[in-house]
Amino acid sequence: MTNDPNRLPETNWGAWQSRPFHRQYLMTQANRLFDFFEASSLNPKGGFFELSDDGQPLSPENGLRQVHVTTRMIHCATIGSLIGRPGSDEIVDHGMRYLWEKHRDQRNGGYVWSLDDDGYVDDSKQAYGHAFVLLAGASAKLVGHPLADQVIADVTEVIEQRFWDKKIGAVREEFGNDWRQISTYRGQNSNMHLTEALMAAYEATGETEYLRKATKIADLIIHRNAAKLDYRVAEHFHEDWSLDKDYLGSEMFRPSGTTPGHALEWSRLLFQLFVLCRKEHSWMTESARGLFRQAIDLGWDKVHGGFFYTLDWNNQPIMREKLWWPVAEAIGAAAYIGAYDHDDYYQRWYRKLWDFAENHVIDRERGGWHSELTEQLVPTSRLFVGKPDLYHALQACLIPLYPVTGSLTHGIIEADHPKRL
């Protein structure tokens, strides 16, 4: 036995991820998330509804379809298909057809941000949205969807020709419908999600250019910026990629200051990239550990629990609300890094994070996860209305169950068909 608070007791040392009960718990949580989101989200006119707290369509008469919602549902339904959840393939097909036939701008190219039954609502072309289009296409390819190759080829060309900045090794942020420049803003959030998508595209196609681009982005955002900022991830940049600490924009997609949740998300993605790059870049794992620990040290509320949404550059909370997705990303990161390091630190935090999710974030009464809590952990809706999607929470449930040899979808396929990869 030990009294060291940083060590697990010998009587309870083994990783939860290897315990049959915990594995059953995780799959049960994943299935409940599918139950909450899948059927209620399906819009019979195409695409997907966004849901209220009790799982009803927010705008049933004429629902808004945002491209990241469409594509995340495609990705999650692909995961459902890969693990054997009935009904998932039809949802993939439903989403892919809406993505290709409606979100895709057949006149000017690219994918518009949002539309409803009457047409485009926001017809801008966002790097963030295109990252998720690539992720959806790569995921759909794994289940053999007939539109997957078309979507991958199309969005890859758009990213290359319109968004990718070869001199910098990252993407420009946003354009109008006719590809006029909207702003000179540069952001890490879209580039982070593109890193995720590029890795998925590499796994789906075997084309190394995707992996090269992912490495370029990670080098810029983390190796050349976050590492020099004590492993705090800078969110906002000027056109020349100099840091913009004073930027104010959408707190949902471009949060002020620093965001502990993004550091946690990057920590897992960096470990994943390290593995896919044949473990050639040791800075990736060093940075992944630094990001995780710094996000815990600075972002975790030591009084009430949960991660403050944003911090200023003096490491003080700006938005004190606790969102669901940083907890989900922290779980995935703790599971991924802990599988390699076998360090009590990551296992202790993995357990602590699931304790917090179970006691405060999971909505037992209505289903899904509460999207937002106050500082005192009371459900609220300052930033988010309803329950946005199942993407973050679903991956938190399933990443711990599968080999950490790439993305979650890669791990699922490896577990089922180890000789095919």
262, 360, 370, 410: which one is catalytic? Answer: 262
Which amino acid, residue 278? R
Which residues make Cβ contacts (< 8 Å) with residue 420, sequence separation at least 6?
413
Residue at token pair 């020349």: 240
The DSSP line for 202-235 is HHHH--HHHHHHHHHHHIIIIITTGGGGTS--B-
Helix (H, G, I), strand (E, B) or coil at 237: strand
The DSSP line for 27-53 is HHHHHHHHHHHHHHHB-TTSSB--B-T
| Structure-block tokens of residue 241 | 């990629």
94 assigned to active site: no
262 assigned to active site: yes
130, 193, 392, 410: which one is catalytic? Answer: 392
Please give the helix or strand (H or E) that residue 392 lies within, else none.
Answer: helix 391-398
Rounded Cα gap, residues 271 and 343, in angstroms: 15
Helix (H, G, I), strand (E, B) or coil at 408: helix
Half-sphere exposure of 182 (CA within 13 A, CB side): 18
* Residues labelled catalytic: 262, 392
